[in-house]
Amino acid sequence: MHIPLYLDQLSLLISLIGGYKGLNEEVITGSGKNSWKSEAEGGESGDIQGPKVTYIPPPPPEDEDSIFAHYQTGINFDKYDTILVEVSGHDAPPAILTFEEANLCQTLNNNIAKAGYTKLTPVQKYSIPIILAGRDLMACAQTGSGKTAAFLLPILAHMMRDGITASRFKELQEPECIIVAPTRELINQIYLEARKFSFGTCVRAVVIYGGTQLGHSIRQIVQGCNILCATPGRLMDIIGKEKIGLKQVKYLVLDEADRMLDMGFGPEMKKLISCPGMPSKEQRQTLLFSATFPEEIQRLAGEFLKSNYLFVAVGQVGGACRDVQQTILQVGQYSKREKLVEILRNIGDERTMVFVETKKKADFIATFLCQEKISTTSIHGDREQREREQALGDFRCGKCPVLVATSVAARGLDIENVQHVINFDLPSAIDEYVHRIGRTGRCGNTGRAISFFDPESDNHLAQPLVKVLSDAQQDVPAWLEEIAFSTYVPGFSGSTRGNVFASVDTRKNYQGKSTLNTAGFSSSQSPNPVDDESWD
Ligand SMILES: Nc1ncnc2c1ncn2[C@@H]1O[C@H](COP(=O)(O)OP(=O)(O)OP(=O)(O)O)[C@@H](O)[C@H]1O
C-alpha cells in the first residue's frame, strides 16, 4: 500500500503501521483495546494484563483568559425562545427567565458573565429551578443548546450554599458530585466547564479518564476532589482501588444519559449505583441529560431516578437542531471518495467533521485526503490518547480543518466554528445521526450537514431520516421518501410530517402534568443498537 509522507500527517502514518513510542510513554501497541469500551471492561485497571499506559495529559492553561475563552452565540440564539417545552411529573417548579431569578451567589454570577452568558437557553430556564429544588431530572434538549451549564450551575450553587467536605487535607477524597460521560474528550470538556464555573470558589473539579496513567488520575484526586468528572471505566477502576469514597455523593449526573444506560455502559452504571457507600437514589440527586432519549432507555432510567423525577423535553425528543441545514445525497460506496473530495474542495478551509463507520476507514480516508493535499487529521478508538488529543487540538485551532472521526466524536463535543458535518457513512441508528450533525449549528450558529446515503446499506434509515428531516423543517428528497415508503415498517410510529414530538415521558400514567408551550405527541423509535466498531 502506498502511504503518503506529508510531515504534519506523520502520526496518521504511524497509526496506520501500528504502534508508537512517545516521549512520555513506555509501551504502546496497536491492540485496539485502549478504547473506552475496554475501559468499561476493566482493560486499563491492571486486572487484565496489557500494556501499561503512561500517558500524562498536559495540564490545561491556568490563565483566566483561557479558562473563560468562549465563542459567540449565533444569529438564531434568540429563536431558542420559541421552541416548545414540555415538563411532566408532579409539582414542577416554574421556569426562570433570567440568571438573576436563579439567585446564584456573586462568584457564580461573575463566572457566568465572564463566560459570556447573558441569557438562559430553554433547557437552562427549566432545569436550573428543578435542580435547585432538589428534584431528580431527565432532560432532553437539542444538541448545542447548553445542557452542560444547565446541570453544572445549580449543582455548584448548592455546593456553595451547603459547603463542601472533601478537601486536599483529607486522606480519603469523598466527592459530592460525580459526572460521567461516554468519551474521554467529552468528559474533559465537561471538566473544563466545571473548572470555569467554579473559578474563584472552594469547589475543586477533577477529571479522570482512560488512556492516561492511572497514577496521574489518583494524584489529581488526592489534591482534593469535590466534582469528579470521569469516564465509566476509569471511575470503576478508581473506586475498585478505594481511591475515593462514595458516601458524600449528593449529585450523580449522567451526560449523554441514553448512551450511558444502553447495552454498552448500562451494566457499568448499575455497578456504580450499587457500589458500597453509594447513597441510594432516595439519598442523592440524579440528573440525566441528552439530546435523545429512546423510550426503552427511559424505562431503564427508572432504576436510577426517584419515582417523582421530572422530565423536561425541549422541542422534539430526539429531534435534530433546526439550525443545521441537512442534505442527503444518494452516493454508492464506490463513488463516496470522489464526492467527498469534490465537496471538501468547494468548502475550502472551513472546519469540517467527516464521520465514517470504522476505525480502519477513518485512517484510510484521512490518509487519502492527505494524499489529495487536504489537511486532515483523525480521531478514533484505536489511536493513542495522546494522538486523539493532538488531533482534536489541531482541529480546534484550525491547523487541520478536516477531522475524520468515528462515532467516538459524535456526542457532546463543542468545537468552535465547525461549519460542516459530512456523514461519509451513515450511522446504523438515527439517534447517532442526530448527535453527529449536532457538532455543527451550535448555540444559535448555523451549520450544514451532508450525508451520503447508500441504497445498498442504508435503506433501513430512510424512514427515520425522513421523519428527522421533516420535523426539522428540512427538504426531504423525493427519492428518499420513495425508499422510506417502500421499506415501510408498520411498527414505526414516528410521523413523517408535521410538528410532533418523537417521544415523551414514558410514565404514561402520570398525573399533575405541568405543561408549558406544548404540542402533540407520538411514540418513539427503538433504541440504538450498540455499534461496536464505530464506538471503538
Ligand atoms: N446561556 C448561554 N449563553 C451563551 N452561550 C451558552 C449558553 N449556554 C451554553 N452556551 C454555550 O453553548 C455551547 C453549547 O453548549 P453545550 O456544549 O452545553 O451544549 P449541549 O446541549 O450539551 O450539546 P450536546 O447535546 O451536543 O452535548 C457551549 O459553547 C456553551 O458554552
Domain spans of the chain?
81-314, 324-490
The interface predicted TM-score (ipTM) is 0.99
Asked whether 187 lines ligand 1 (CB < 6 A), one says no
Task: Determine contact, residues 434/409, Cβ cutoff 8 Å.
Answer: no
Q: Do the beta carbons of residue 255 and residue 292 sit within 8 Å? A: no
Spans of the chain below 50 pLDDT? 1-48, 493-503, 509-536
Q: What is the pLDDT of residue 508?
A: 53
Residue 327 parent element (H or E): strand 324-330
CA of 147 to the centre of ligand 1 (A): 6
| Ligand 1 atom 1 nearest Cα | 120
Amino acid at site 322: R
Same fold, 81-314 and 324-490: yes
Q: Which atom of ligand 1 is nearest to the CA of 145?
A: 21
pLDDT of 166 reads 61
- Probe target for ligand 1 pocket from 117, 118, 126, 153, with the most ligand atoms within 8 Å of CB: 117
**Phi/psi at 392 (5° precision):** -65, -40
Distance between first and last Cα of the chain: 24
pLDDT of residue 52: 83
**Ligand 1 centroid vs 465 CA: distance in angstroms?**
25
pLDDT at res. 50 = 64
Cβ–ligand 1 distance for 121 under 6 Å, the answer: yes
- Any idea which architecture 81-314 has in CATH? 3-Layer(aba) Sandwich (3.40)
> What is the position in ligand 1's atom list of the atom closest to the CA of 123?
21
406 lines ligand 1 (CB under 6 A): no
Distance CA 235, CA 62 (A): 25
Distances (CA, A) of 262 to 221, 298, 408, 466: 28, 10, 15, 25
Q: Is the CB of 148 under 6 A from ligand 1?
A: yes
Check if 412 has its Cβ closer than 6 Å to any atom of ligand 1: yes
Q: Quote the pLDDT of residue 245.
A: 96
- pTM of the complete model: 0.88
- List Cβ neighbours of 305 (8 Å cut-off, separation of 6 or more): 136, 138, 281, 286, 288
CA of 394 to the centre of ligand 1 (A): 22
Expressed in angstroms and rounded, the spacing between residue 144 Cα and the centre of ligand 1 is: 5
Pocket test for ligand 1, best of 145, 179, 186 (most atoms within 8 A of CB): 145
pLDDT at residue 505, as a whole number = 79
Which cell numbers in the block locate residue 138? 431527565
* Sole residue written with cell 502506498: 2
CA of 193 to the centre of ligand 1 (A): 10
Mutate to test the pocket of ligand 1, among 413, 421, 442, 445 (most ligand atoms within 8 A of CB): 442
* Three-state DSSP class for residue 329: strand
Query: In whole angstroms, what is the distance from residue 55 CA to residue 211 CA?
Result: 7
242-247: list long-range contacts, CB under 8 Å, 24+ apart.
243/173, 243/218, 244/172, 244/173, 244/174, 244/175, 245/172, 245/173, 245/174, 245/277, 246/174, 246/178, 246/275, 246/276, 246/277, 246/278, 246/279, 247/174, 247/277, 247/279
C-alpha pair distances (Å), 67 with each of 168, 196, 312: 22, 6, 30
Edge-first strand order for the sheet with 447-453 is 324-330, 447-453, 418-423, 351-355, 402-405, 376-379
Nearest-angstrom CA–CA distance, 162 and 326:
46
CATH code assigned to 324-490: 3.40.50.300
Q: Confirm if 124 and 146 have CB atoms less than 8 A apart.
A: yes
Three-class DSSP category at 480: helix
| Closest residue CA from atom 29 of ligand 1 | 414
Is the shortest distance between the CB of 73 and ligand 1 below 6 Å? yes
Q: Residue 380 to residues 81, 184, 355, 386, 494: CA-CA distances in angstroms?
A: 36, 11, 10, 12, 32
Helix axis angle, 478-486 relative to 462-471, nearest 10°? 130
Sequence letter at residue 9: Q
Centre of ligand 1 from the C-alpha of residue 481, in Å: 33
- Ligand 1 centre and the CA of 205: distance in Å? 19
Which atom from ligand 1 is nearest to the alpha carbon of 121?
1
Cα(30)–Cα(459) distance, integer angstroms:
34
A 10 A CB-CB count for 249 gives 24
Which residue is closest in CA terms to ligand 1's atom 5? 117
**Residue 208 CA, ligand 1 centroid: distance in Å:** 22
